[in-house]
Amino acid sequence: MHRRITRRDFLIGVAITAGAAMLPSQLFAFESGLKQNSADYYPPALTGLRGSHPGSFDAAHALRDGTFWDTAGKPVETGETYDLVVVGGGISGLSAAHFYRKIAGPGARILILDNHDDFGGHAKRNEFRQGNDFRLGFGGTFSIESPAPYSAVAKSLIEELGIDVPSYSKYVAKGLYRSFGLAPKIFFDRETFSSDKLVVNPLRGGATETSDKPDGNAETWKTFKTEAPLSDQTKRDLQRLLFENKDYLPGLSSEEKKARLARMSYAKFLMEMVGVNDQVVRVFQAFPHPLFGIGIDAISAQDAWGLNLPGFAAMNLNPTPGKGMNRDAIPNEEAEKYFFHFPDGNASIARLLVRKLLPNVIPGNSASDIVMAGADYGKLDSASFPVRIRLNSTVVRVRHAGDPASAKEVEIAYANGGKVYKVKAAHCILACWHVVIPYICDELPDPQKDALASAAKVPLLYTNVAIRNWTSFQKLGVSSVYAPGSYHSNFTLDIPVSIGGYECARKPDEPIVIHMMKSPCQPGRPARDQHRIGRQELFMTQFETIELKIRDQLARTLGAGGFDPARDIAAITVNRWPHGYAYEYNSLWDKFWLEGGELPCEVARKPFGRLAIANADAGAYAYTDCAIDQAYRAVGEITKGS
Ligand SMILES: Cc1cc2nc3c(=O)[nH]c(=O)nc-3n(C[C@H](O)[C@H](O)[C@H](O)COP(=O)(O)OP(=O)(O)OC[C@H]3O[C@@H](n4cnc5c(N)ncnc54)[C@H](O)[C@@H]3O)c2cc1C
């Protein structure tokens, strides 16, 4: 594990050195304006720790800790005045700028400020080059998909951007991995399950990030039963759970059952109703991680039923959603069909929006040519264009120039490169993470600040590992891995999509990107506590530690197929999202969600003076359609009557 990885070190080294070598020119560029203007500035190609990358959160954390203004100095007046300043350059912020221009006209002066070195928010593009091969990965927001159908507003924006969602089947090589005999598998690790073993996956339901779902047939179960390093008792319990048709709450109506299931965790349901042993619970523990960032100890049994987890087949639950069900757990056929995955995920949506706002930055004119188009970051923030996107800029204060009820302007202060600057605008849309808003916007009423603060996000790691080839996957017959006890609970070969001149890997000897995901959490505690602890863990963990975990996990899972991390890993990009998914309400932890009442997100998103509030947090729904819908609403609020 500790062997030198010369070639891989070289590749990562190049990226890091490029970053380091950027420093003098960055400084120079900063003096003459902005580091995003330096010639070698191209964040998508950086590897190592991305997402909330080093340097992106220090100002915000100093604000949180109450120390920022001790050393910040007086804001420098830029003299810039805008019609609209948008805080946050994610899909919500970019959509807000787009919707605003549609109303105010193409000459409207808009400034978008974001603390990251790249635009797109969670929708981030990761690029990898290995010799002549070019591979893309998604650093966050993965696909156009949502458990509920896209609204008319969100759909029409997608269409306006030229994305033809129903055409997706043209681009995806759907049966590619199956044609090589690959299937989803489970990896049992020795720390949790007594020995390391990769076995077929018989568990239907739950969530995977690819369309590559376990088939759950009887043959698979038979193989699993023979090979899995589980006790005989566990296998008997699992068999009962998967195949026995039993009503675990006899004598109750469907509604009464759902009400009970909404108030108990799935782990409790398994242990106390089905009567399985705790090793079975460990098998299922990480199943909901990709959706909720927590395990089965913290999601309700009712949601588990909606997600098609086992145990409910004979409970005669009528198909209508029960009270307090999470929206992710409510099946919807129309929504399921509305799916489109770009090789860089919804970063393509962010890039299409940027192209609409600033046609000079990204060349081209279609939703497919966006995939291979480069981006000229030096043109994102130019006084020659009405729309400007200023990166590496953390907004630290937003306040009205005078009484919010009558003020004609808002002043926005942001930190960039160790200094604070000030701009003015007729309106401001806060499309940033809601937890940040109380720290930057002191004027808001306290109940609104409390509601905003309650939207603490779900922490996640989205790791992309570029590998030399996937022959080890072929030898082991595996396309994706569920690893309930490992550092990353899921990993998968990239979805094979070729579009706009981008070619995915089609042969096992070609380079490919493996996508890995981790939800840091602390089972046994309330959901929000688990997220808080996980968030701290992510901020505290060094890239080197994560890298070692990746190498260890891949070596142990794929080693029997010949995988050698020292030889086969070409580059690693860890997209660290301590502030990841918008928090979605959960019947176990959010009483109002189960019993009714005003939702915190409704209180949080109320307009205030010349401010409106967007972001996916404003709908407590971790999806792109929500980010778009909330942007549309926010723009409607500030343009009402115009
Ligand atoms: C790992 C991951 C995977 C996801 N996968 C999917 C998916 O497959 N499909 C889907 O529909 N959704 C997915 N989502 C949900 C995703 O959050 C939304 O789809 C959407 O991208 C959110 O856009 P947004 O603009 O609301 O928020 P964000 O993308 O978070 O953008 C907000 C921006 O505001 C910035 N900001 C915060 N504070 C400040 C400040 N003080 N000053 C300046 N800027 C600030 C943030 O840094 C961020 O860049 C995923 C999310 C994550 C984290």
Q: Which of 11-25, 86-100, 185-199, 258-272 has the lowest mean pLDDT?
A: 11-25
User: What is residue 217's predicted lDDT score, i.e. its pLDDT?
Assistant: 76
d(CA 264, CA 260): 7
Q: What is the mean pLDDT of the chain?
A: 93
User: What is residue 169's predicted lDDT score, i.e. its pLDDT?
Assistant: 96
User: What is residue 205's predicted lDDT score, i.e. its pLDDT?
Assistant: 53
Q: Write the pLDDT tens digit of every residue in 362-388.
A: 999 999 999 999 999 999 999 999 999
Q: Write the pLDDT tens digit of every residue in 286-334.
A: 999 999 999 999 999 999 999 999 999 999 999 999 999 999 999 999 9
Q: For the purposes of burial, counting CB atoms within 10 Å of the CB of 209, is it exposed (0-12), middle (13-18) or buried (19 or more)?
A: buried
Cα 607 to middle of ligand 1, angstroms = 21
User: What is residue 23's predicted lDDT score, i.e. its pLDDT?
Assistant: 36
Please report the atom of ligand 1 found closest to the CA of residue 63: 41
The interaxial angle of helices 347-357 and 91-104, nearest 10 deg, is 30
Residue bearing tokens 């995955």: 341
Q: For the purposes of burial, counting CB atoms within 10 Å of the CB of 598, is it exposed (0-12), middle (13-18) or buried (19 or more)?
A: exposed
Instruction: Assess whether the C-beta atom of 304 lies below 6 angstroms from ligand 1.
Output: no
User: What is residue 213's predicted lDDT score, i.e. its pLDDT?
Assistant: 58
CB atoms within 10 A of CB 50: 28
* pLDDT of residue 64 exceeding 80: yes
Cα 236 to middle of ligand 1, angstroms = 43
Mutate to test the pocket of ligand 1, among 122, 327, 624 (most ligand atoms within 8 A of CB): 122
Model confidence band, residue 209 (pLDDT cutoffs 50, 70, 90):
very low
Model confidence band, residue 426 (pLDDT cutoffs 50, 70, 90):
very high
Q: In 3D, which of 429, 392, 433 has the Cα closest to residue 531? A: 433
Q: Are 437 and 605 in contact (CB under 8 A)?
A: no
Cα 355 to middle of ligand 1, angstroms = 19
User: What is residue 204's predicted lDDT score, i.e. its pLDDT?
Assistant: 67
Cα 580 to middle of ligand 1, angstroms = 7
* pLDDT of residue 30 exceeding 50: no
Q: Which residues contact 550 (CB under 8 A, 6 or more apart)?
A: 463, 465, 487, 488, 516, 565, 569, 572
Residue bearing tokens 């220090």: 58
User: What is residue 119's predicted lDDT score, i.e. its pLDDT?
Assistant: 98
d(CA 342, CA 336): 17
Average pLDDT over residues 580-598: 96
Q: Which residues contact 389 (CB under 8 A, 6 or more apart)?
A: 89, 111, 112, 114, 119, 354, 357, 358, 380, 381
Q: Write the pLDDT tens digit of every residue in 596-636.
A: 999 999 999 999 999 999 999 999 999 999 999 999 999 99
Q: In 3D, which of 177, 179, 178, 173 has the Cα closest to residue 497? A: 173
Instruction: Assess whether the C-beta atom of 309 lies below 6 angstroms from ligand 1.
Output: no
d(CA 448, CA 455): 11
Model confidence band, residue 216 (pLDDT cutoffs 50, 70, 90):
low
Q: Write the pLDDT tens digit of every residue in 225-270.
A: 999 999 999 999 999 999 999 999 999 999 999 999 999 999 999 9
Average pLDDT over residues 567-590: 98
More confident residue, 121 or 219: 121
Share of the chain above pLDDT 70, in %: 93
Q: Are 161 and 356 in contact (CB under 8 A)?
A: yes
> Which value, to the nearest 10 degrees, does the dihedral of the CA atoms of residues 36, 41, 43, 45 take?
170
Please report the atom of ligand 1 found closest to the CA of residue 614: 26
User: What is residue 9's predicted lDDT score, i.e. its pLDDT?
Assistant: 31
Among protein residues, the one whose CA lies closest to atom 10 of ligand 1: 623
* pLDDT of residue 24 exceeding 50: no
d(CA 262, CA 256): 10
Average pLDDT over residues 561-568: 97
User: What is residue 321's predicted lDDT score, i.e. its pLDDT?
Assistant: 96
Instruction: Assess whether the C-beta atom of 394 lies below 6 angstroms from ligand 1.
Output: yes
User: What is residue 598's predicted lDDT score, i.e. its pLDDT?
Assistant: 94
Q: Write the pLDDT tens digit of every residue in 98-144.
A: 999 999 999 999 999 999 999 999 999 999 998 899 999 999 999 99
**Long-range CB pairs of 212-221, under 8 A, 24+ apart, other chains included:** 212/177, 212/183, 212/184, 212/479, 212/480, 212/492, 213/184, 214/183, 214/184, 215/183
Q: Are 590 and 305 in contact (CB under 8 A)?
A: no
b/e map 497-508, b = 16+ CB within 10 Å = bbbbebebbeeb
User: What is residue 635's predicted lDDT score, i.e. its pLDDT?
Assistant: 98
User: What is residue 596's predicted lDDT score, i.e. its pLDDT?
Assistant: 93
The angle formed by the CA atoms of residues 392, 398 and 403, to the nearest 5 degrees, is: 165
Average pLDDT over residues 155-181: 97
Please report the atom of ligand 1 found closest to the CA of residue 139: 1
Q: Where are the beta strands (DSSP E) in 139-219?
A: 183-188, 197-200
Q: What is the pTM of this model?
A: 0.94
* Tokens at 170, concatenated: 């043209």
Please report the atom of ligand 1 found closest to the CA of residue 460: 1
Please report the atom of ligand 1 found closest to the CA of residue 92: 25
* pLDDT of residue 571 exceeding 70: yes
Please report the atom of ligand 1 found closest to the CA of residue 209: 8
Residue 10 half-sphere exposure toward CB, CA atoms < 13 A: 6
Cα 255 to middle of ligand 1, angstroms = 36
Q: Which residues contact 227 (CB under 8 A, 6 or more apart)?
A: 197, 199, 200
* pLDDT of residue 215 exceeding 80: no
Q: In 3D, which of 83, 79, 60 has the Cα closest to residue 410? A: 83
User: What is residue 33's predicted lDDT score, i.e. its pLDDT?
Assistant: 60
* pLDDT of residue 14 exceeding 50: no
* pLDDT of residue 469 exceeding 70: yes
* pLDDT of residue 4 exceeding 70: no
d(CA 432, CA 430): 5
Chain center to CA of 138: 9
Instruction: Assess whether the C-beta atom of 440 lies below 6 angstroms from ligand 1.
Output: yes
Average pLDDT over residues 468-483: 97
Q: Are 96 and 86 in contact (CB under 8 A)?
A: yes
User: What is residue 1's predicted lDDT score, i.e. its pLDDT?
Assistant: 46
Cα 623 to middle of ligand 1, angstroms = 9
User: What is residue 203's predicted lDDT score, i.e. its pLDDT?
Assistant: 84
Among protein residues, the one whose CA lies closest to atom 1 of ligand 1: 140
Q: Are 294 and 524 in contact (CB under 8 A)?
A: no
User: What is residue 8's predicted lDDT score, i.e. its pLDDT?
Assistant: 32
* pLDDT of residue 17 exceeding 90: no
Instruction: Assess whether the C-beta atom of 389 lies below 6 angstroms from ligand 1.
Output: no
Model confidence band, residue 57 (pLDDT cutoffs 50, 70, 90):
very high
Amino acid letter, 380: L
User: What is residue 427's predicted lDDT score, i.e. its pLDDT?
Assistant: 98
Mutate to test the pocket of ligand 1, among 141, 289, 439 (most ligand atoms within 8 A of CB): 141
